[in-house]
Amino acid sequence: MVQIVPMAKRHIPALVALEQVCFSQPWTAAGFAEELENPLAVFLVAEIDGEAVGYMGFHDVVGEGFVTNVAVSPANRRQGIAAALLTAALAECTRRGVTRLCLEVRESNAAAIALYTRFGFEQDGRRPRFYIAPTEDALLYSWTQK
């Protein structure tokens, strides 16, 4: 069973390993440690039997949220973990009074786009050549509290 918990220092090694597998420009341990000290940062970790298998982070900046990353271990995809993380993040947005949550997603990431649109995110922009390794446009999506 998946549990969603706040990120703690103990999660950092697993999240760094997850980043290495999921992204061409992975975050470092120092980057995650900085987020633990950042009062604007909200990072949630998906655990199965105490093991971190995914995470989602966002920054709460004066009532608007900006997603930093969403990642799920390839071995644990298609099990509802990203949806559980997003559900918890949107609940946290509501609790904090965040009325809008924005993110960028690779244009080719059909699975993520399907998830975001299922949760009510709408495409509202594009950043040409935003991503590198490989170079690709970012689609901008946002969710607004109803």
Q: Give the bridge partners for 102, in sequence order.
A: 66, 142
Helix (H) or strand (E) holding 142: strand 136-144
Which positions ≥6 away from 25 have C-beta within 8 Å? 132, 133
Among residues 55, 116, 131, 141, the one annotated as catalytic is 116
Among residues 104, 107, 131, 141, the one annotated as catalytic is 104
Cβ atoms of 54 and 85 within 8 Å: the answer is: yes
Is 104 part of the annotated catalytic residue set?
A: yes
Question: What residues are annotated to the active site?
Answer: 104, 116
